[in-house]
Amino acid sequence: MTSTVAFVAIVVTLVVTSAGWPEVKAAFFNGEIFRSSFGEIASAFLINVKIFCIAEAIVLFTALGVAVLRGLTGPVFFPLRLLSVVYVDFFRGIPTVLLIYLLGFGVPALQLSGVPTSELFWGTTALVLVYTAYVSEVYRAGIESVHPSQNAAARSLGLTHAQALRHVVVPQAVRRVIPPLLNDFIGLQKDTALVGVLGVVEAFKQTQIDQASTFNFTPGVVAAVLFLLITIPLTRLTDYLIARERKRRQAAGVTV
């Protein structure tokens, strides 16, 4: 702890005593601009939080569905397995910002009757499609980590394969993958800023507006602080859950 404090103190001292520090301080840490822009950026940040909450709720269920489809056995389910594999490979391979562009500008341009034209809708949809692919792989890893004997025991009690998945395998798998799920959702929270490329005035877009009007980068610091207020607690929660799961497994190993 002492060495960490000493290292931070040395770094801070080197920064604030450097020749260019006054210019950097004026450009990035202007207190007056920070206070004046905080309200607007905080209001815009609520859009990011809204996108995150909606996308997270949808991804939790759609990703689990994709993971279950990919794990189905038997030749009759081959088309579903193939479809899930293609889906995951495609949406994990395409850059998120590119998909946001394609959906946000491309679909409304088709002028299809009854199809939403909202940039916010299509930006959120793009995030859901991408993160469903990532999170489904997390779920799949959790499902495969459950020992086959669990499924066999459930089947021996008269449960169907679907019932065994629902009541025995999936609950254990979800409990095991909560920490990596939170890591993905931390990434999702940050990626909500990408929706701004469609013109949605979220925190990052409002930051760009304020920077253009003040010719100063301090609004970017405001946005960074707001994102940190969300991501740091999630990160600490992830660390706590990982440590708790490790202790639980160690205790189970000692008991055995």
For the chain, which residues make up each domain, given as ranges? 34-239
Residue numbers in the chain where pLDDT is lower than 70: 1, 252-256
Position 256 scores a pLDDT of: 40
Say if CB 216 and CB 33 are below 8 A apart: yes
Position 86 scores a pLDDT of: 95
**Fold that domain 34-239 belongs to in CATH:** MetI-like fold (1.10.3720)
Position 242 scores a pLDDT of: 78
Position 123 scores a pLDDT of: 95
Selection from 166, 124, 116 nearest residue 146 by Cα? 166
pTM: 0.88
Rounded Cα–Cα distance for residues 66 and 207 (Å): 36
- Token look-up 């260019």 returns 20
Position 201 scores a pLDDT of: 93
Half-sphere exposure of 84 (CA within 13 A, CB side): 22
Position 250 scores a pLDDT of: 75
Selection from 73, 74, 52 nearest residue 123 by Cα? 52
Position 252 scores a pLDDT of: 65
Rounded Cα–Cα distance for residues 171 and 120 (Å): 33
- Token look-up 């920070």 returns 34
